[in-house]
Amino acid sequence: MTPLTRQQTLGEQAQILPLENGDHLTRPEFERRYHAMPHKKKAELIEGVVYLPSPLRFKVHARPHGHLMTWLGVYEASTPHVEVGDNATVRLDLDNEPQPDAVLLIDTPAGGNCQLSTDGYLEGAPELVAEVAASTAAYDSYDKKAAYRRNGVQEYIVWQVLDQKLDWFSLQNGEYVPLLADEKGVIRSQVFSGLWLAVPDLLAGEMAKVLVVLQQGLNDSEHGTFVDSLSGYIQD
């Protein structure tokens, strides 16, 4: 590299400002600044505004997040053509590029809404998005929820850890409607047949019980029909 070229390169790098909470940016500018901050592990663009989450605590985020991923991972293992992702950047639209705690999606060849870009990012709306929030005041319950709804994320889970509460929304006629638990506290996905969640057990950290209920869902005939439909979509 010649001195002039090196000087030009340093000048170009100096012009890239770091991301700051509350910045109003376009998605291309957000990505440009994000890529210039390789030390930054998570940043999100929600409705054109930059959010830089604080360091995550073990009890109120890391452990619940791990339990959520365990539940979704077991479902993925028993459901061909379905994939789970952890903290994947999602290009929803020109004003929104979130990094959800978890996504569950149907493979594109099997009829899924999401696809992989040439540079490896998710583009479009995953069928299910889950977020672990400290409380109902978190932006997961407001601006981010509105962005997911508008872009067609079919199901949205918000686990409000400090409030000991979990909401599971289903997109119906353009609005998010809460999915209700049955008398045993179990919620069943309307998109992913067999994805059953024993909410009281999850909130209590009783993962063995959570997985027992999930296995019941996986053994249900509707799950087999769902798997067959995904395979049939590819064959057609």
Q: What is the pLDDT of residues 69-95, one digit of tens each?
A: 999 999 999 999 999 999 999 999 999
First-to-final CA distance of the chain: 54
> pTM value?
0.85
Strands 122-123 and 128-133 turn out to be unpaired
Residue 178's contacts (CB-CB under 8 Å, 6 or more residues apart) are 167, 168, 169, 170
> Class for domain 57-235, per CATH?
alpha beta
Nearest in space to 61 (alpha carbons), one of 79, 86, 85: 86
Domain spans, the chain: 57-235
Q: What is the pLDDT of residues 88-131, one digit of tens each?
A: 999 999 999 999 999 999 999 999 999 999 999 999 999 999 99
Q: What is the pLDDT of residues 19-57, one digit of tens each?
A: 787 778 888 888 898 888 877 778 888 888 887 877 788
> How far apart, in whole angstroms, are the C-alpha atoms of residue 166 and residue 130?
10
CA-to-CA dists, residue 11 to 6, 14, 16, 32, 109, angstroms: 9, 5, 9, 15, 44
